[in-house]
Copies of this chain bind each other. A is one copy, B any other.
Amino acid sequence: MSKKPRGRPRAYDPEVALWQALETFWANGFSRTSLDALAAATGMNRPSLYAAFGDKKSLYLKSFDCFAGQLHAALDNAAHSEAPLEATLHDFFRNAIEIYMSGPDGPRGCFIICTAPAEAAMDADIRAALKAALEEIDRGLEIPFAKAKAEGRLPPDADTAALARIAASVLHSLAVRARAGETKEALHALARQSVQSLC
């Protein structure tokens, strides 16, 4: 454990600074976020930002991974749920909606779905990160379906991968709808009806 790094101590906590940068990208998207805005949000100045996280895109990708970590935890939670399939999915969606509707300046939707696609067409790195995140959602959501099928709570010929991809699609849509300003009630209704339709 490095206790005394020997030089001038850092004036910031890398973890909270990264989260503050993430919030800035989340609200404004990648291209619209300037290094000045990131410096203001983190309380760091540009050279320190650069030294700590590399250039702007590198910082965005680190923020992306940070958010993807949260997503991974939520999927893991759903995968290990002991509750029946419907309840598991519903909890998962409810948690997602809670995050999508949060934010100091109004609903922000999903960091990944709402900020990465704009850049993905012309930026291969961001496209690859987006693709990997989508695949993780698809794979993560399949587990609860597969468990339900194994327990006989779904027809034996149910295509769990396909059901998971449809559930993931609803998640993507919830992300966009939240950012567009749909009400929380409308989002919950969509989640409820899609769960009903899939189980």
Contacts and interface: CB of A to CB of B under 8 A. Distances in A.
B168 A173 contact: yes
Number of identical monomers bound together in the oligomeric complex: 2
Given A31-B31, A114-B121, A121-B28, A166 B181 contact: no
A168 B179 CA distance: 16
Given A30-B32, A127-B179, A127-B181, 10 more contacts: A27-B121, A29-B31, A105-B121, A114-B117, A114-B118, A131-B182, A134-B180, A163-B193, A165-B190, A173-B173
Contact of A117 (B32, B134, B165, B180): B180
A134 B187 CA distance: 13
Interface of A: 26-32, 103, 105-109, 113-115, 117-122, 127-128, 130-131, 134, 159, 162-163, 165-166, 168-170, 172-177, 179-182, 189-190, 193-194, 197-198
Contacts of A176: 113, 117, 130, 134, 172
A177 B166 CA distance: 12
For chain A, what secondary structure do more than half of its interface residues adopt (helix, strand, loop), or is it mixed? helix
A180 B118 CA distance: 10
